[in-house]
Amino acid sequence: MKKLQLTWTVLLLLTLLSGTHAQSVLSKAEMIKLADRTLDFAARQYKHMAAAVPDSLLPRSTNKDGSLMTSTSSWWTCGFYPGTLWYLYEYTKDDALKQEAVKRMALVENNKYNTRTHDLGFMMYCPFGNAYRITGDTTYKTILLRSAASLSTRFNPAVGCIKSWDHGTWKFPVIIDNMMNLELLTWASRESGDPSFTKIATTHASTTMKHHFRKDYSSWHVVDYNPATGAVVEKKTHQGFADSSAWARGQAWGLYGYVMMYRETKQKIYLDQARHIADFMLNHPNMPADLIPYWDFNAAGIPNVPRDVSAGAVTAAALLELSLYTGRKEAKRYWGAAEKMIVSLASPAYLAKEGGNNNFILMHSVGSLPHNSEVDVPLTYADYYFVEALLRYKAWVK
């Protein structure tokens, strides 16, 4: 084990020395072996997780005392664990992983009627979307269509967006995270033949593109609107360092969301937006050499601040897909950056040891540092997008 860790340390150092935007130091064959080895580990780790989490709960993170943090199905991350299980079942064909996914989805299903959250894409599309894609069971399709209808109730035509939160003193808050929930709607239009779902998604994406981004393509976290007129009331942060800063996971949500919206609509404005966001991140002077971002690109104290592995995992998955839609030079750059992120995430610096880390796959994510919540801990969504990135790599490598 020590020899293996030393080997990975050397590989990671070589990667860091190779330049921020250079290709991975590993060959394609070595990268595939890395992906397989990491996915094999992830499957074993999640079987340990299945045995550790109470039947009525879902894994979320790690508590400050080091114990497992769980959630009920009402928490916004409830869909990531069963969603990851479906990905791992797809890779391994291990029926135990499938059965665990089905068992936990039973806890989540009633959210199809939930009209109090914008997070139904995370909560429902990640698990049930993967389940339907893999099995073809139309029961899952029915659940997803009901979920899309529930999400649609939060759309305000005057604003042109889906409302994110019902709490606080906001009038009509919209957060950049909401870009991730639009895929449920585009999927629903495709499956049902009802174009209204996609119309909501494209209107939200275009409104967000207009108001959420600065000239350099960094993003505000929260834009609050007047619900009657659609006028912008204020632009703030909730989880970032400052209102004017670039919260790393927010940048990742935006990147992933616009890549997805281009795939779903083929509207070039969304592809251009994704490219600009990717370039902002990759060219940022505070992007670390291993391409795993600090929790905020403008955080005070860099480099002595926490990384956010969840932002790295989401970005890696997004960059792999973005590379499919761009010219050869750009594609090579985006693919190479994603490879470097994967190599970094699969190194001992970020990858857990089997049976450790409360059985999560990745270490060192940040939920909300300003609220001292989930700082330098595993997060269930970091695992989900990392596994997605590994599977995408294997499927798309040439």
Residue 177 bears catalytic tag:
yes
Residue 40 bears catalytic tag:
no
The one catalytic residue in 94, 119, 290, 296 is: 119
CA distance 98 to 86: 6
Q: Which residues share a beta bridge with 61?
A: 69
Structure tokens at 67: 């114990």
Structure tokens at 179: 């870009």
Q: How far apart are the first and last CA of the chain?
A: 31
Residue 187 near residue 125, CB atoms below 8 Å: yes
Torsion, CA 294, CA 299, CA 303, CA 307, rounded to 10: -20
* Bond preceding residue 303 cis, omega within 30 of 0: yes
Q: Which residues share a beta bridge with 180?
A: none
Query: Which residue from 237, 346, 353 is spatially nearest to 295, judged by alpha carbons?
Result: 237
Residue 68 near residue 52, CB atoms below 8 Å: yes
Neighbours of 64 (CB within 10 A): 11
The one catalytic residue in 55, 94, 95, 177 is: 177
Give strand ranges (E) for 314-386. Answer: 365-368, 373-377
Give strand ranges (E) for 153-236. Answer: 155-156, 161-162, 173-175, 222-225, 232-236
Catalogue the active-site residues: 119, 177
